[in-house]
């Protein structure tokens, strides 16, 4: 699977990914129940240019996304994974990379909000060591972040280079028939 940042031009892929989620999964992702296709289109259109959209691709299909938005020293994270790609570590890897990216931008705290019955997200938050507070049907989780260091910055650079190399190899394979002479 390929993990990389989504480009602005790929935001329709993110919207299509969110629209593939079931009504229950949409509710889990956004912590409220009225999430129709129009709402998703407005949500995606309103994402700030400097937010992180980190995608996980299985072939050409976007199967998971971490969205990180900043509000001062706090970054908020949302994770979504296609139902058929769950329980394969996609959410955990997206979260790990989102934490590193957020830390490297000097956020002091990572925050996520979910419904209190979203067992997958709560388990992931616990796995990260996030402090979880439940109230009125929702759960908020916070993770204090240390400042970046050479290891986290180098890890992010390496991951970006790997993503570019994988994209390049996919493009070469796709064009190979057109570029090489036929015997």
Residue 170 lies in a domain: no
Confidence class of residue 182 from pLDDT cuts 50, 70 and 90? low
Residue 87 lies in a domain: yes
Task: Give the model's pLDDT for residue 24.
Answer: 84
Residue 107 lies in a domain: yes
Residue 150 lies in a domain: yes
pTM: 0.79
Give residue 141's domain range.
Answer: 2-157
Task: Give the model's pLDDT for residue 183.
Answer: 61
Residue bearing the bigger pLDDT, 56 or 158: 56
Task: Give the model's pLDDT for residue 177.
Answer: 64
Side by side, the strands of the sheet bearing 131-135 are 2-5, 52-58, 61-71, 74-81, 109-115, 138-144, 131-135
Confidence class of residue 11 from pLDDT cuts 50, 70 and 90? very high
Does 47 have pLDDT greater than 70? yes
156 is written with which tokens? Answer: 């992010």
Residue bearing the bigger pLDDT, 31 or 46: 46
CATH number assigned to the domain comprising residue 143:
3.40.630.30
Residue bearing the bigger pLDDT, 182 or 48: 48
Residue 81 lies in a domain: yes
Q: How many domains does the chain have?
A: 1
Residue bearing the bigger pLDDT, 84 or 21: 21
Task: Give the model's pLDDT for residue 153.
Answer: 75
Residue 163 lies in a domain: no
Residue 167 lies in a domain: no
Residue 175 lies in a domain: no
Distance CA 108, CA 102 (A): 9
- 66-70, 110-114, 127-131 — most confident range: 66-70
Q: pLDDT digit string (tens) for 76-116?
A: 998 888 878 777 888 888 988 888 888 888 888 988 887 77
């Amino acid at each position: 699977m390929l993990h990389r940042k989504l480009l602005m031009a790929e935001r329709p892929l993110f919207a299509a990914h969110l629209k593939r989620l079931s009504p229950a999964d949409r509710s889990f992702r956004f912590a409220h129940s009225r999430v129709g296709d129009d709402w998703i289109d407005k949500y995606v259109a309103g994402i700030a240019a400097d937010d992180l959209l980190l995608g996980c691709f299985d072939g050409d299909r976007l199967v998971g996304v971490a969205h990180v938005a900043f509000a001062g020293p706090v970054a908020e994270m949302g994770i979504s994974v296609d139902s058929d790609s769950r329980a394969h570590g996609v959410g955990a890897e997206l979260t790990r990379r989102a934490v590193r990216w957020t830390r490297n931008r000097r956020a002091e705290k990572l925050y996520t909000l979910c419904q209190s019955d979203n067992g997958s997200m709560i388990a992931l938050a616990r796995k990260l060591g996030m402090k979880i507070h439940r109230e009125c049907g929702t759960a908020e989780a916070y993770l204090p972040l240390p400042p970046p260091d050479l290891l986290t910055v180098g890890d992010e650079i390496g991951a970006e280079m790997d993503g570019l190399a994988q994209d390049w190899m996919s493009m070469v394979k796709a064009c190979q028939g057109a570029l090489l002479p036929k015997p």
